[in-house]
């Protein structure tokens, strides 16, 4: 019992460890069911190539959800940034066109995020409404600007931007995997070791507490949404540069998968606590599911159901561990088989 408890404590202490366990189990399951595919390094390289844009989005969204907010506009930003980049890259006659396009795309993301932030922090529009409206609006604008057409930017392959962000390190490791990992490290330090991150956690926990402790809640939210805009634009850039083409619907399939990655990772929907490490593994869980289930030979119809199942398992594990009820549960398991059990009251310290 003692050793069991200390083991539980270790598991709960190390950030993201349970999610990492889920990822390992998943890969193990794939290794058994589709050994041909999963003993070959190619599949892992392909994960490192396809997961980063969603991972980058998930990292930004982790901060947003930790602050007790939500952002539904990132798919539109992914499209907008891809369009801005391809447009300027194609139509700007300058050797620096690729960099101009790159930074203008980030700026476009910042602009969308900033206006989201203004609506939410200054006018008090709930973030789910403000960003849902932004999603429609900016997605519409992008389609209009692009005339509904894709933009081919094959020439981007010979540019420095392409080599730096989506090249192959040692000819095998996709650069975007390194960039997204680097961003994860940076954002981990921002969230857990910087006063901006501390402000985010306290705002998500209780904005009134944050305010009376001297945090500028409004300014922090505006900065946060602007940052999310830039991060989403960066995800859009990774996507567009990797596949050498902008297509207007890019990013539109990301919404649910990215959210699932964040929640699988253990970030609380109620705010106040977020796990960057969890999101990192969560994104790879989601990414490997899509490719992995297909590789196992079962029909791709299974993907969604398996995803839902994994999400439930991960979230339950996180809830149990997060509330320190692991010991409780192993202790009470027999009791739970009885449907008519009386739920033990879980009274939080007295509150009015």
Partner 1 sequence: MTNDPVQPYAVQLINIEKYFGSVCALKNINFNVEKNEIVGLIGDNGAGKSTLVKILTGVFPPSSGQMFISGNQVDFTKYSVQQAHAMGIETVYQDKSLGEKQVLWRNFFVGREITYPFGFINVKKEKEIAKEIMLNTIGFRSKGITVNSKVSKLSGGERQGVAIGRAMYFDAELIILDEPTVALSLKEVRKVLNFVHKIKEAGKACIYISHDIQDVYEISDRFIVIDRGEIISSIQKKDITLIALDDFLLEYAHGLKDGE
Interface contacts to partner 1, rule CB under 8 A: 189, 193-196, 198-199, 201-202, 205-206, 208-215, 268, 272-273, 348-352
Nearer to partner 1, 193 or 343 (CB): 193
| Least distance to partner 1, CB of residue 112, Å | 25
Supply the Cα-derived Rg of the chain in whole angstroms.
22
Taking Cα atoms as reference points, which of 253, 260, 270, 269 lies closest to residue 310?
Answer: 260
| Least distance to partner 1, CB of residue 150, Å | 41
| Least distance to partner 1, CB of residue 3, Å | 19
| Least distance to partner 1, CB of residue 85, Å | 29
SS3 151: strand
Nearer to partner 1, 45 or 217 (CB): 217
Nearer to partner 1, 90 or 211 (CB): 211
Alpha-carbon span 278 to 276, nearest angstrom: 5
Nearer to partner 1, 12 or 252 (CB): 12
Nearer to partner 1, 112 or 201 (CB): 201
DSSP notation for 23-82: HHHHHHHHHHH-HHHHTSHHHHHHHHHHHHHHHHHHHHHHHHHHTT-----HHHHHHHHH
| Least distance to partner 1, CB of residue 272, Å | 4
Taking Cα atoms as reference points, which of 279, 235, 246, 234 lies closest to residue 153?
Answer: 246
| Least distance to partner 1, CB of residue 258, Å | 23
| Helix 217-243 vs helix 41-66: crossing angle, to nearest 10 | 160
| Helix 302-322 vs helix 17-33: crossing angle, to nearest 10 | 150
Nearer to partner 1, 191 or 293 (CB): 191
What's the token pair of residue 272?
A: 């106040």
């Amino acid at each position: 019992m003692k050793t069991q408890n200390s083991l539980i404590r270790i598991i709960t202490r190390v950030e993201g460890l349970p999610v990492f366990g889920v990822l390992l189990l998943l890969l193990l399951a794939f290794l058994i069911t589709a050994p041909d595919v999963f003993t070959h390094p190619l599949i892992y390289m392909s994960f490192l190539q396809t997961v980063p844009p969603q991972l980058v989005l998930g990292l930004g969204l982790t901060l947003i959800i930790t602050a007790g907010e939500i952002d539904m506009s990132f798919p539109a930003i992914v499209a907008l940034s891809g369009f801005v980049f391809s447009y300027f890259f194609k139509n700007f006659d300058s050797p620096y066109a690729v960099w101009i396009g790159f930074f203008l795309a980030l700026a476009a993301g910042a602009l969308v995020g900033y206006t989201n932030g203004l609506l939410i922090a200054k006018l008090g529009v709930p973030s789910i409404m403000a960003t849902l409206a932004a999603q429609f609006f900016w997605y519409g604008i992008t389609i209009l600007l692009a005339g509904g057409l894709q933009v081919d930017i094959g020439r981007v392959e010979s540019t420095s931007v392409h080599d730096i962000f989506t090249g192959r390190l040692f000819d095998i490791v996709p650069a975007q995997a390194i960039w997204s990992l680097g961003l994860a490290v940076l954002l981990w330090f921002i969230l857990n070791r910087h006063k901006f991150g501390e402000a985010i956690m306290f705002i998500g926990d209780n904005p009134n507490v944050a305010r009376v402790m001297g945090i500028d809640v409004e300014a922090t939210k505006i900065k946060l949404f602007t940052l999310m805009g830039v991060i989403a634009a960066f995800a859009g850039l990774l996507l567009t540069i990797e596949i050498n083409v902008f297509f207007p619907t890019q990013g539109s399939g990301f919404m649910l998968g990215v959210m699932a990655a964040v929640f699988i990772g253990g970030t609380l929907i109620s705010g106040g606590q977020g796990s960057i490490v969890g999101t990192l593994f969560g994104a790879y869980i989601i990414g490997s599911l899509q490719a992995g289930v297909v590789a196992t030979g079962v029909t791709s119809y299974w993907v969604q159901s398996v995803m839902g199942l994994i999400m439930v398992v991960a979230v339950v594990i996180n809830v149990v561990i997060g509330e320190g009820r692991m010991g409780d549960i192993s202790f009470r398991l027999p009791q739970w088989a009885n449907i008519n059990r009386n739920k033990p009251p879980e009274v939080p310290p007295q509150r009015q």
